[in-house]
Amino acid sequence: MVENEKSISEVTSLLQKSITPLGRREEISLCSANGRICAEHIYSPLSLPTTNNAAVDGFAFHYEWSTSHPNHVYDIVAEIRAGHPYSGKLLPGQAVAIFTGAIVPEELNCIVMQENCILEEKKRVRIPFGPKKGLNIRMAGENLRKGEVIIKDGQRISAADIGQLSAIGRSKIFCYSELSIGVLSTGDEVMDASNTKAVLKPGQLYDTNRPMLKAMVTKDNHCCSDYGIIIDDKTSLQEGYEKALSENNIVISTGGASQGIEDHTQEVLASLGFEVVFWRIAMKPGRPMAVGKRNHQLVICLPGNPVATFVCYRLIVAPLLDYLQCGSVSNPLRIALPVLFRHTKSENRAEYLRARLVQDKDGKTCIDLYGRKGAGVISSLTGADGLVEIPIENSGVEPGMFLNFLPFMERCL
């Protein structure tokens, strides 16, 4: 590893040691909580279902009676629908027609689907085979037991969590407050695509990073503000940072291709009272990355290349923002799979290559590289399934080797 370059694990440890989580909470409507981070432990106040209920439309009867009376024809004494419990008494040898979700009477412990029963005559039914005890019955507490934890403090809330919380009667939930994040780009060569009057000159390009960062930051449920493009000038950069910092907890900047820009940016951060936690990271793409800290504010400097910006945000910045918000970090999903490609790399940096999941000749799922190489080739991201992680100590990849695959959230269910 090159001197002063730190691995992702070292950077993560440094950041967590130097940053105090904000831990601000607010109560919001449950229907607005999708993707937010939960700020409380929630336990179920009841069992779900609260009673035994029918899993199908059919006929309910007493299992033990059926085993000792295999040819019995049952009298159908009632119809029970969801939301309308049956309060009558049932005698041995009697059955009820029951519909999905209805409470099963205590005397009955088996349900046979209606299409598997034979109606002998009006209000009489025969069971043509030997059923099982508890067949087609959802038992009380099968989904949740009273006192069971539903969601934990620090857990990101999913649509399924909202459904489960709704099922216990919750309509509000405490979440960690959204972070306020400003994004800006730097570089004389960068142009804003929203400026319809701008015409690209030789050597210029449209800004990719700000729109992409704004999309990721917003997707992660933070408040995002755009501070435009800052030219490669120390005074302009300082003014841009000052403006963004006056309105936000965090500022994320990208780019800066002029000679000595690293020293240039560090000088500006120092003049603003920021301590640089680290500068340069042992990964590819994404080496020229830095984080500066001032009390509870952060300035995060990302590379100008779009792929590097994307990879650094997803692997380092997004978990960092979670930690600042709530004090916990969710590591990305890693799935060990065999690879189909060869690749050579130096041992001093971890590499993250764009990849797809494919089937080999035996039908096994494997990792293969996708798209053109290069930290500026954003087209390699748009069709990829995720990233393949080549560890820092690894010097080469051969087909059949197992490596970690990190799926993109857009490719997951």
**N-to-C CA span, the chain:** 37
CATH no., domain 335-411: 2.40.340.10
| C-alpha dist (Å) from residue 138 to 104, 135, 292, 335, 397 | 9, 9, 55, 34, 51
> Rounded to an integer, what distance in angstroms lies between the CA atom of residue 38 and that of residue 20?
18
pLDDT tens-digit series, residues 208-249: 999 999 999 999 999 999 999 998 888 999 999 999 999 999
Q: What is the pLDDT of residue 262?
A: 56
pLDDT tens-digit series, residues 100-150: 999 999 999 999 999 999 988 778 999 887 789 999 999 999 999 999 999
CATH no., domain 53-138: 2.170.190.11
pLDDT tens-digit series, residues 311-355: 999 999 999 999 999 999 888 999 999 999 999 988 889 999 999
Nearest-10 crossing angle of helices 318-326, 8-18: 20
Sign of the torsion formed by the C-alpha atoms of 358, 364, 365 and 369? negative
From the list 244, 229, 148, 155, the residue with the least C-alpha distance to 194 is 229
- DSSP secondary structure letters along 285-349: S--S-EEEEETTEEEEEE-SSHHHHHHHIIIIIHHHHHHHHHS---PPP-EEEEB---EE--TTS
Q: How many other C-beta atoms are found inside a 10 Å radius of the C-beta of residue 374?
A: 13
CA angle 45, 50, 54 (to 5 degrees): 155
Percent of the chain scored above 70 by pLDDT?
97
User: Is 0.85 surpassed by the pTM of this model?
Assistant: yes
Question: If you average pLDDT over residues 269-294, what whole number do you get?
Answer: 92
User: Does residue 400 have a pLDDT over 80?
Assistant: yes
CATH of 8-24+178-326, one of 3.30.1490.20, 1.10.3480.10, 1.10.10.10, 3.40.980.10: 3.40.980.10
Please name every residue paired with 113 in a beta bridge, in sequence order, or none if there are none: 58
Residues listed for the chain: 413
Confidence class of residue 254 from pLDDT cuts 50, 70 and 90?
Answer: very high
Nearest-10 crossing angle of helices 234-245, 261-271: 50
Q: What is the pLDDT of residue 365?
A: 97
CA angle 374, 377, 383 (to 5 degrees): 115
Confidence class of residue 267 from pLDDT cuts 50, 70 and 90?
Answer: confident
Query: Please, what CATH class does the domain formed by 26-48+143-176 belong to?
Result: alpha beta
Lowest mean pLDDT among 186-190, 252-256, 261-265: 261-265
> Rounded to an integer, what distance in angstroms lies between the CA atom of residue 12 and that of residue 309?
17
Question: Domains of the chain: which residue ranges?
Answer: 8-24+178-326, 26-48+143-176, 53-138, 335-411
